[in-house]
Amino acid sequence: MDMRGNHTQIKFILLGITEKPWAQTALFVLFLLIYIVTLVGNVGIITLVRVSPSLHTPMYFFLTHFAFTDICYSTVISPRMLADLLSEDKTISFTACMMQFFTFAFFATVECHLLAMMAYDRHVAICQPLLYVTIISSRVCWQLVASSYLFAFLSVIICTWSMFGGSFCGPNHIDHFFCDEFPVLKLMCSDTHSSEMIIFALFTINAVSAVVVILLSYISIIRTVLRMCSAQSRAKAFHTCASHLMAVCLFFGSGFFMYLQPSSSHRSLDKVASIIYTVVTPMLNPFIYSLRNKEVKGALIKCGRRLRRLFNHRQLRRIFQ
């Protein structure tokens, strides 16, 4: 099937996770529950930070954007994947495939930068506490977040052009559950070496630079913590970083497994890694930041008390009316 003509007429077929009907039904139920929990958890984090004055700090400002990106890039993948699990027609147009990759890559890249910013925030809070308010001001927070969105947009524009700007010819089957880099590049007729090099360079600039910032921040944090006299102070400092470290390991661990191996070595295990960072990680992040964080748990308790008082007040008003 020759697809060298007009790109708008090209259609791909997503092979999905599995072709077994019984497995597709079970996976649909599982991933639907995960997606619902992802939405509820991340919207809950954003709402809690907004309504709780005690959480109006730079750390939680970054966390709200982190939760927002989790919602967005999970929504780019999950609804389409759920529909394909129940549908026999798994075709996707060239434009829809390109937009799916662009949107997913954009929010995933933003998340890389946000994880680096959150590490830097912890570095300043622990290593330079007296200058924290000056260094991590509200203006600086907005500048950092805006720059991450802008840099991600420019990077992903180049990356998407490299992937979808070439010629495509049959077969048109994408061996994946969404339009990801390597499955799409396999369908190109033209030489993909230059495209792979551009994508690898952009991935290195974004992801590896973010990891470098995170590592340098934590090296500085560890040095500062080890110089603390009080064991209680050391434990408190490490505890404030635990949630962020878990999120970093989940996101970058599965991401590096996928994108830092040669394209020739990609296999079915990659689908499992993709499920982890596109579906599972966005669900786990709200729990990581809430269950291991005393400030978030405290804000949740306060909100619960407010809602209880409001409910009791309305009940009393109904009784005496």
The answer to whether the bond into 171 is cis (omega within 30° of 0) is: yes
CA dihedral 223, 228, 232, 233 (to 10 degrees): -80
The pair of structure tokens assigned to 294 is 């005393």
H-run or E-run covering 92? strand 91-93
Q: What's the CA angle centered on 55, arms 52 and 57, to 5 degrees?
A: 140
Closest CA to 13 of 169, 174, 188, 163: 174
Asked if residue 166 lies in contact with residue 189, where contact means CB atoms within 8 angstroms, the answer is: yes
3-state secondary structure of 12: strand
The pair of structure tokens assigned to 224 is 């500062």
Asked if residue 218 lies in contact with residue 312, where contact means CB atoms within 8 angstroms, the answer is: no
Interatomic CA distance for residues 83 and 89, integer angstroms: 10
Any residues with CB less than 8 A from the CB of 222 and at least 6 apart, and which? none
The answer to whether the bond into 79 is cis (omega within 30° of 0) is: no
Any residues with CB less than 8 A from the CB of 174 and at least 6 apart, and which? 12, 13, 14, 15, 92, 97, 183, 184, 187
- Rounded to two decimals, what is the model's pTM? 0.85
- Tens of pLDDT along the chain (321 residues) come to 444 445 556 788 898 888 888 888 999 999 999 999 999 999 988 988 888 888 888 988 999 999 999 999 899 999 999 999 988 888 998 889 999 999 999 999 999 999 999 999 989 988 888 899 899 999 999 999 999 999 999 999 999 988 888 777 767 888 888 998 888 888 888 777 888 888 888 888 888 889 999 999 999 988 888 887 777 777 777 777 777 888 888 888 776 766 665 555 555 567 887 888 889 889 988 888 776 666 776 776 777 777 676 666 555 455 545
3-state secondary structure of 2: strand
* 188 φ/ψ angles, rounded to the nearest 5 degrees: -75, 140
Domains in the chain with CATH codes: 8-296 (1.20.1070.10)
- Give 88's DSSP letter: S
